[in-house]
Amino acid sequence: MSISPEQVLKVSRLARLELSDDELATMTAQLSQVVDYVDQLSELNTDDVVPMAHALDLTNVFVVDQVAESLERSQALANAPHADGECYLVPAVMGD
Amino acid sequence: MSEPYTMVVGLEVHVQLATASKLFCRCSTRFGAEPNTQTCPLCIGLPGALPVMNREAYELGLKAALGLNLEIPRFTKWDRKSYYYPDLPKGYQISQYDLPMSQNGYLEIRDPKGRFETRRIGINRAHLEEDAGKSLHDEAGAVADSRIDLNRCGTPLLEIVSEPDIRSPFEAKAYLSELKLLLTFLNVSDCNMQEGSLRVDANVNLHIDGPDGQVATPIVEVKNMNSFRAVERALTYEAARQYDAWQETGQAKGDVPKQTRGWDDTAGVTHGMRHKEESSDYPYFPDPDLVPVTVTDEEIEQVRQSLGALPAALRDRLQTEFGLSDYDSDVIVGQGPALVEYYLDLAQATGDGKLASNWVQQDVMRYLNDQAIAVADYPVRPDQLAELLTKVKVGELDTSRGRQVLEHMLAAGGTAAEAVEHLGIKQVDAGEEVELCRELLAANPQIVADLQAGKLKAAGALIGMAKKTNPNVNPGRVREIAIELANQWDT
Ligand SMILES: [Zn+2]
């Protein structure tokens, strides 16, 4: 298995996900399969291949710096689970 | 330095680029709008919305990078920095990771009072990224929800990362002042700290010479510093704190994870914050929604040509071309581009750089401060002030008379000549002044005796009397004449 349960735990913490022991075992196996699958690419010799930064062969797509209309606030807040008419409400963020 | 350690500081500065709209959508970046009135599906992270790069933001970034002597790679790309926080609706920030738009530059810092040697502070990189939103903490109810305002989401920032080349809190302040001045001259950002257009984080530790060689203390990142003065104070505090902690625990860099501490300006201390994940713990990957940017030598050269005169070059010019001291040139350039332009116009029209510098610093700047107005709103144009200064220069007016004339021009408008006329100031010819001095000396033998004895203060009393008789006399000339006459006086 190419990924350890410790690595999965660390990633789940960064993603703010809480995994039960069962889930951790499942995820470790599944993530390992994914990584192993992608790892097949390393069988290829890429010595002469230029690293690719983007899948599209396209650069320099820009727009002009011009203000356009934003959403009405009521629209922006419409899908929020909690809002007070001005702001989104989330469980208190403490400390920083 | 008397401290038993060397302080090592690197600064990360975020400046808001002066665009009208956001980095990847067309919402306004205007400060002070009602919460959540400047957002759209893109900047609040609704599914399916696609970002497009703001050309102006990229160009402002280029200008700043060239001003900071940074190299411009010809190819740059965008990455997603993933983390979870309520003010970041997408769950990632669009930033630049391994191929930033600029790298490897420097900013020269100097102190005209010579408290440190002029030095180059290395700049590791400057890259573009988007800002996050804002959590409005409700201080009153500790258990209440946090309120989130997403207006700032997607505002273009340039993150400027210095090398750990700064050696004292004072140097840190000098670096920040020079950086802000440069960006102001470049028109890249308004650098307003109160409005969050310029934010500073510091990485700081100490290198201590111990009996077993040099020891480095754990690196601490200091946040929440809301003014340059706060940065200076926080670093001073942090150095002392780290030295004490090292003496107490002996902990060195590597013994403990990197710590983040917040500056409490009122208490004057730093507090520990949550442990920061190492940078490898922010998963980065290339943003598939944004295509890379390439730039040619010609384009870079074009931007370089557009930079205009920058602070370092202007200080040199004021010193070499107009004979100003290091200190005076620093004061004038430190006031920003508008005042420098005013000064240059004045100095050129007057043909006397030092006289122009004195009047700009003592009169123009003081008036601007007192009235809290910008140079553009100063009522007297440089050519009008030059007319007045020319009269002072040739001795038609003495300095205090000149000030009265300027006051009148500020209050009533008009030219220097009109003000002189209005104030009833008439040229007194030298013959008249000699005659007046002769009369006054004849009536005051004690003054003659004092002047002969080299007590030149006595001339002051004589000037007073002369002005009473004729307010238009030139005090400097009266003084010269009186001393000369007294020395040839036959008693
Ligand atoms: Zn938007």
> What pLDDT, in 10s, does the model give residues B85-121?
889 999 999 999 999 999 999 999 999 888 888 999 9
Angle between helices B169-185 and B55-67 (to 10 degrees): 130
As a whole number of angstroms, the distance between CA B67 and CA B74 comes to 17
Query: Would residue A80 count as lying in a domain?
Result: no
Subunit contact B83:A14, Cβ cutoff 8 A:
yes
As a whole number of angstroms, the distance between CA B285 and CA B287 comes to 6
User: Are B64 and B183 in the same domain?
Assistant: yes
As a whole number of angstroms, the distance between CA B44 and CA B102 comes to 28
Query: Would residue A23 count as lying in a domain?
Result: yes
Query: Would residue A88 count as lying in a domain?
Result: no
- Provide the residue range defining the domain that includes B395: 309-423
Query: Would residue A60 count as lying in a domain?
Result: no
Query: Would residue A95 count as lying in a domain?
Result: no
Which of B245, B262, B294 finishes a domain? B294
Q: What is the mean pLDDT of residues B307-334?
A: 95
CA B32 to ligand 1 center in whole angstroms: 16
As a whole number of angstroms, the distance between CA B284 and CA B79 comes to 6
Residue B348: DSSP 8-state: H
Query: Would residue B303 count as lying in a domain?
Result: no
Query: Would residue A39 count as lying in a domain?
Result: yes
User: Are B402 and B438 in the same domain?
Assistant: no
pLDDT value of position B478: 87
Query: Would residue A62 count as lying in a domain?
Result: no
User: Are B384 and B475 in the same domain?
Assistant: no
Residue B146: list chain A partners with CB under 8 A: 89-93
| Nearest residue to B178 via CA among B309, B365, B334, B15 | B334
Subunit contact B52:A62, Cβ cutoff 8 A:
yes
B339 and B332 Cβ atoms separated by less than 8 Å: yes
User: Are B106 and B161 in the same domain?
Assistant: yes
B447 and B464 Cβ atoms separated by less than 8 Å: no
Report which of residues B16 and A91 the model is more confident about.
B16
| Nearest residue to B50 via CA among B40, B61, B37 | B40
Residue in B20, B147, B281 closest to A66 by CB: B20
A48/chain B closest Cα distance in angstroms = 19
Query: Would residue B395 count as lying in a domain?
Result: yes
As a whole number of angstroms, the distance between CA B197 and CA B180 comes to 11
User: pLDDT for B191-204, tens place per residue?
Assistant: 999 999 999 999 99
Residue A71: list chain B partners with CB under 8 A: 39-41, 44
| Nearest residue to B359 via CA among B375, B347, B351 | B347
User: Are B415 and B435 in the same domain?
Assistant: no
As a whole number of angstroms, the distance between CA B31 and CA B367 comes to 29
- The reply to whether ipTM tops 0.95 is no
- Over its C-alpha atoms, chain A yields an Rg (Å, rounded) of 22
Query: Would residue B104 count as lying in a domain?
Result: yes
Query: Would residue B299 count as lying in a domain?
Result: no
User: pLDDT for B123-180, tens place per residue?
Assistant: 999 999 999 999 887 656 555 788 999 999 999 999 999 999 999 999 999 999 999 9
Which of B242, B267, B294 finishes a domain? B294
User: Are B337 and B406 in the same domain?
Assistant: yes
CATH number, domain of A22, equals 1.10.20
Subunit contact A55:B148, Cβ cutoff 8 A:
no
Query: Would residue B162 count as lying in a domain?
Result: yes
- Provide the b/e sequence for B206-236 (b: ≥16 CB within 10 Å): bebeeeeeebbbbbbbbbbbeebebbbbbbb
What is the pTM for the complete model shown?
A: 0.87
Query: Would residue B304 count as lying in a domain?
Result: no
CA B51 to ligand 1 center in whole angstroms: 9
User: Are B419 and B436 in the same domain?
Assistant: no
B24/chain A closest Cα distance in angstroms = 9
Residues from A in contact with B at Cβ < 8 Å: 10, 14-16, 53-56, 58-68, 70-71, 73, 76-77, 82, 84, 86-93, 95-96
pLDDT value of position B266: 95
Residue of A nearest to B23 (CA): A65
Q: What is the mean pLDDT of residues B456-467?
A: 87
Residue of A nearest to B136 (CA): A87
Query: Would residue B302 count as lying in a domain?
Result: no
Q: Measure CA B228 to chain center.
A: 10
CA–CA–CA angle B299, B57, B373 (5° rounding): 110
Subunit contact B38:A70, Cβ cutoff 8 A:
yes
Structural domains counted in chain B:
3
Identity of the amino acid at A90: V
User: Are B253 and B153 in the same domain?
Assistant: yes
User: Are B470 and B403 in the same domain?
Assistant: no
- Provide the residue range defining the domain that includes A15: 5-43
User: Are B160 and B25 in the same domain?
Assistant: yes
B167 and B204 Cβ atoms separated by less than 8 Å: no
Residue of A nearest to B272 (CA): A95
Which of B237, B266, B294 finishes a domain? B294
A7/chain B closest Cα distance in angstroms = 11
Phi first, then psi: give them for residue A30, nearest 5 degrees.
Answer: -70, -45
Subunit contact B36:A55, Cβ cutoff 8 A:
no
B202 and B231 Cβ atoms separated by less than 8 Å: yes
| Nearest residue to B15 via CA among B78, B91, B74, B68 | B68
Query: Would residue A64 count as lying in a domain?
Result: no
User: Are B313 and B264 in the same domain?
Assistant: no
pLDDT value of position A96: 40
Query: Would residue B215 count as lying in a domain?
Result: yes
B173 and B228 Cβ atoms separated by less than 8 Å: yes
Structural domains counted in chain A:
1
